[in-house]
Amino acid sequence: MNIVNVMWAGGAPYMSIHKVHRQVLLHAGADARISNWLLLGSGLCCGLGSTREWHLPSRALKGRHLWRLLRPWLRMRLHKALVAAQADILLLDGVGVARLLLPTLQRLPQVRAKVLFHGETRLDASDVRLLRMLPAERLSVAAVSQTLAESLQRDLGRPVQTLRMALDPQAFAAPLLGREAARQALQLPPTAGVMLGAVGRLVHSKGFEMLIEAFAKASARQPGLQLAIVGAGPLHRMLQARIDALGLIGRVHLCGHRDDLQQLYRAFDWLLIPSRSEGLGLVVQEGVMAGVPLVCSDLQVFREQLGSTGGYLPVGDEQAWAEAIERCASLDGPAVAEQQHQALAPEQAWQAFCSGCHSLLRN
């Protein structure tokens, strides 16, 4: 079986998407030959099989203005490459990649496509027509959460598989560092108080600017609190300026991107997830499997994973988050972590994910 895994781009901004595709491809079987295509730029990929970087123009990929005229040429190139790769299965990263690749399959009847959605997506009428173009035996659509799958199914009027991303709990736990070693790796100062953590790209959807404002209010009444934010992104300079202006230097730490993030969760006494939107929010699972208690925004994808145990707070409500941050100093964190572990049930989630990957790739 020859699988071509087509990704929009590589590098840190797409790390979580590549992680999902890697986990899916690990279930392809020993007989699978995997080729990864990065349409834009360079960077990290799935770490399985070979990688081809196409370096295509972004505007041409998106078909904007006069660049739309280049799309037939791009599809011709991709068609020839698929023939040369003897592709049996295409694993496509969301609707942007599907718009470019699916039309080529009309001339490749032996190829089956699997479109995997990672987050909220606005489908226009042409997208719906595109995703209805091929019959079910040639096109499967999947989403990384039940919430997302149900939304897409309503829009498309065709079945959408829930493939809720999960990690092998034993493999995840093995490299975890202890509390002090993880803090040392992140260059965090020693503290007798509570170390709060947040993880993700420094972008608006993650809610970190609100979190810093809420932390400032809470730490005025709880001066022993510390906050570490692990991640990189375009808002770094703005967030650092706000930390400086609020007098939080030495108490709020922007730790940057870490390739070894999965080892470091135990640096935190609590993990805060103030996202405004998420396709799944893999950080929820990683925090739970590391034994760190969580406080989350009230998003359906988080409730899907944690049931009633997520300590949910209104999205973007600075005052509610400030009060919750203060409570972290007095709550029984290990007890909360145990409740969240039972709700997530990582072992069962992993088995369901393995079964779903096999179904997606083999059917």
pLDDT at residue number 44: 63
Query: Mean pLDDT across the chain, nearest whole number?
Result: 92
As a whole number of angstroms, the distance between CA 268 and CA 196 comes to 5
Model confidence at 299: pLDDT above 90: yes
Left (φ > 0), alpha (ψ -120 to 50) or beta: where does 300 sit? alpha
pTM listed for this prediction: 0.87
Q: In the CATH scheme, what is the homologous superfamily, with its name and number, of domain 169-345? A: Glycogen Phosphorylase B; (3.40.50.2000)
- Which spans in 186-268 are helix H? 208-221, 236-245
Work out the angle at residue 285's Cα, subtended by the Cα atoms of residues 283 and 287, and round it to the nearest 5 degrees: 65
Query: Residue 129: what residue type?
Result: R
Does residue 95 sit in helix, strand or coil? helix
What are the start and end residues of each CATH 3.40.50.2000 domain in the chain?
169-345
| Opening angle at CA 129, ends 92 and 10, nearest 5 | 20
Where does CATH 3.40.50.11930 sit in the chain?
2-163
> How high is the pLDDT of residue 65?
67
Residues 2-163, CATH architecture: 3-Layer(aba) Sandwich (3.40)
C-alpha distances (whole Å) from 26 to each of 16, 19, 98, 102, 216 are 15, 11, 22, 24, 43
Give 227's strand partners: 196, 252
> Mean pLDDT across the stretch 334-342?
97
Q: What is the pLDDT of residues 99-127, one digit of tens each?
A: 989 999 989 999 999 999 988 778 889 99
pLDDT at 13 over 80: no
Exposure on the CB side of residue 192, measured as CA atoms within 13 A: 1
* Residue ranges in the chain assigned as alpha helix (H): 15-25, 58-62, 71-85, 94-101, 125-132, 146-156, 169-173, 179-185, 208-221, 236-245, 282-289, 300-306, 318-327, 333-344, 346-362
In this predicted model, what pLDDT tens digit does every residue of 44-61 receive, in sequence order?
Answer: 667 788 999 998 877 777
H or E segment and range at residue 93: strand 89-93
Q: What is the mean pLDDT of residues 263-285?
A: 94
